[in-house]
Amino acid sequence: MCSHYQGIKKREQMEKYFRSRGLPLPPGADMWPRRLGEFIRRPPEWDSGDEAVPERETELGRWGLISAMTRADNLPRAEKLSTFNARSETAHKSFTFSHAWRKGQRCIIPAEAIYEPDWRTGKAIPTRFTRADGAPLGIAGLWDQYKDASGNWRLSYTMLTINADHHPLFQQYHRPNDEKRMVVILPDESYTAWLNATLQDMPLFLQPYPADALIAAPVAKQDEQARDE
């Protein structure tokens, strides 16, 4: 699972790599659960046939999906749940994620890097994962909207994960006896197909990203301190 990532800092990367215009920068690029971050989706009006509707749009939402089915009296509880990742194997039958799954509300989360803990020494060493070619990561996700305490509609999103017990790289991370998981990193050429996929085709995209196309580097202690300040 991923509970920490770095969003896109340069606006031009949104158009160059994701063909989506960036919004004004969110409060911070260093992302943790429940913070506001960017995700890319197919506009809900796309099927209207209006040529003025773009193929993709960038939105700002809460990292940690809250279902549109959440009642007002259950919102405080829903806001406390760890819904920043969704298990792809069970998302379709989860109360939190099934509405977005059934509605085909898929998204791409743009990231410069993701972080995972390396426990091989017995201590958690933060490790930064980036693409070997220097391009940003496009992570498969789901989005939904919910009513906040004031009755206003808000957007939220989650990253989809898959089993990584046999992945050459990600099998080395997380606690020794825990199941190994990794987020779904999409190949560049599949972005459009992912956003437009049918429910039946969704599993075709939930595949491990090649280990040799990624770089894992321990985070220097001073870098960790700088982020905390």
Residue % of the chain over a pLDDT of 70: 93
Tell whether pTM > 0.75: yes
Q: Which domains does the chain have, with CATH numbers?
A: 5-228 (3.90.1680.10)
Characterize the bridge pairing of strands 106-111 and 214-218. Answer: unpaired
Task: State residue 175's pLDDT score.
Answer: 84
Considering only 45-49, 129-133, 174-178, which range has the smallest mean pLDDT?
45-49
Helix (H, G, I), strand (E, B) or coil at 109: strand
In one-letter notation, the amino acid at residue 58 is T
pLDDT in tens, 149-187: 899 999 999 999 999 999 999 998 888 888 999 999 999
- What are the DSSP calls for 40-78, one per residue? EE--GGGGG--TTS-S-EEEEEEES---TT--GGGHHHH
Task: State residue 165's pLDDT score.
Answer: 94
Task: State residue 119's pLDDT score.
Answer: 86
Task: State residue 28's pLDDT score.
Answer: 76
pLDDT in tens, 179-222: 999 999 999 999 999 999 999 999 999 999 999 999 999 997 64
Task: State residue 54's pLDDT score.
Answer: 84
